[in-house]
Amino acid sequence: MRVKITVSYDGTTYCGWQVQPNGITVQECVENAVFNATGEKVRVTGSGRTDAGVHALSQVAHFDTNCTIPPQKIYRALNVYLPPDIRVISSELVSDDFHACNNAKKKTYRYSFYISDVEQPLKERYAVMIEKTPDLTLMKENSKKFVGEHDFKAFCSSGSGAKTTVRTIYSVDVVLKEKDLSVTVTGNGFLYNMVRIMVGTLVDVGCGKTPPSTIDKMLLFGERSLGGKTLPARGLCLMNVEY
C-alpha cells in the first residue's frame, strides 16, 4: 500500500529534506523511522526538497509499505523513532498512483521577519531581524508583480538544475502584526532559493534599498545579479502542499 504522510520539522540542525552525503537530513530520519517501525527499507518521497535550515509546518511525502499497521496510525509508530524536532502529524492510505512530488499542485511558503534594533533570542530561530519597518504599501504593490506565470530565472541560485525556470505564482501576502512581518507565497512550484531571493528583493524595495524597478528588470532580463542577497534559511517555512 501507498501511504501519504504530513511531516513537520524544525530545520535548524538539518541539511535540508533530501538525503545527501554530508550531514543528517529529514528524509533520512523519516526513512530510518519507517525502517524501525516496519523493518522495511523504503524510499520516502517528499513534495520537494527544502534547503538546509529551512523549516516545515506541513511537508508532504509518500512511501510504499507492506506493514500491517493501519495507515492512519502509522504516524504514531514513526514518531516513536523520530527525534523531537521532526514529527509526522498525520498519515493516510492513498492510491498507488499518488505521488507527493509529481502530483503537488500548489505549495505555500512563509518568510518571517521581526522589526527590532537588537536581535531577539526568542524570535531568532524562526525569523530574521530587520531594523526598521519597511513601507508596507510599497511592498504590497510590488508583490503583485510576481503573481502570474513568469520566468523566475533571476530568482534562482546557481546549482538548481531545473528544466524550466517558468513558474506560476498565485499569491503573495505581506502581513505586519505588531513587530512581526511575514510574506506568504503560494505557487505551483519554486526554484532553488526562489522564495528567499523574491522576498529579499521585495523587502529591499520596502526598505528603500533598491528601486521597485529592480523586480521588473529581474523578471524581464532574468539576471540574478540584479537582485539583493539570498535571505537566511531560518526565516523560511514550508506551510502547506496542495494536491
Q: Catalytic positions, please? A: 51
**Could you give the CA distance from residue 167 to residue 151 in angstroms, rounded to a whole number?**
6
Burial class (CB in 10 A: 0-12, 13-18, 19+), 30: buried
Query: Within positions 182 to 241, which residues make up the interface with a copy of itself, using CB under 8 A?
Result: 237
Three-state DSSP string of 44-84: CEECCCCCCCCEEEEEEEEEECCCCCCHHHHHHHHHHCCCC
Q: Are strands 148-151 and 86-94 parallel, antiparallel or unpaired?
A: unpaired
Residue nearer to a copy of itself on the CB measure, 50 or 214:
50
Q: How far is the CB of 133 from a copy of itself (least distance, A)?
A: 18
Task: Check residue 141 for interaction with a copy of itself (CB under 8 A).
Answer: no
Nine-digit cell string for 105: 499542485
Task: Check residue 132 for interaction with a copy of itself (CB under 8 A).
Answer: no
Query: Within positions 44 to 63, which residues make up the interface with a copy of itself, using CB under 8 A?
Result: 55, 57
Q: How far is the CB of 94 from a copy of itself (least distance, A)?
A: 19
Judged by CB under 8 A, the stretch of 15-23, 87-95, 139-147, 180-188 that binds a copy of itself is: 87-95
In the set 43, 72, 73, 89, which binds a copy of itself (CB under 8 A)? 89
Please state, in angstroms and as integers, the Cα–Cα distance from residue 234 to each residue in 9, 71, 129, 215, following that order. 12, 32, 11, 24
Q: How far is the CB of 183 from a copy of itself (least distance, A)?
A: 18
CA-nearest of 5, 9, 25 to 238 is 9
Grid look-up 527544502 returns: 50
Binding mask 2-21 for a copy of itself (x = CB under 8 A): ------xxx-----------
Cα separation of the two ends of the chain:
19
Size of the site for a copy of itself (CB under 8 A): 23
Contact assessment for residue 93 and residue 2, using Cβ atoms and an 8 Å cutoff: yes
In the set 124, 135, 141, 151, which binds a copy of itself (CB under 8 A)? 124
SS3 of the chain: helix, strand, coil, percent, to 5: 30, 30, 40
Task: Check residue 88 for interaction with a copy of itself (CB under 8 A).
Answer: yes
Judged by CB under 8 A, the stretch of 85-93, 180-188, 205-213, 225-233 that binds a copy of itself is: 85-93
Residue nearer to a copy of itself on the CB measure, 21 or 118:
118
Residues that bind a copy of itself (CB under 8 A): 8-10, 55, 57, 75, 79, 84-90, 118-122, 124-126, 237
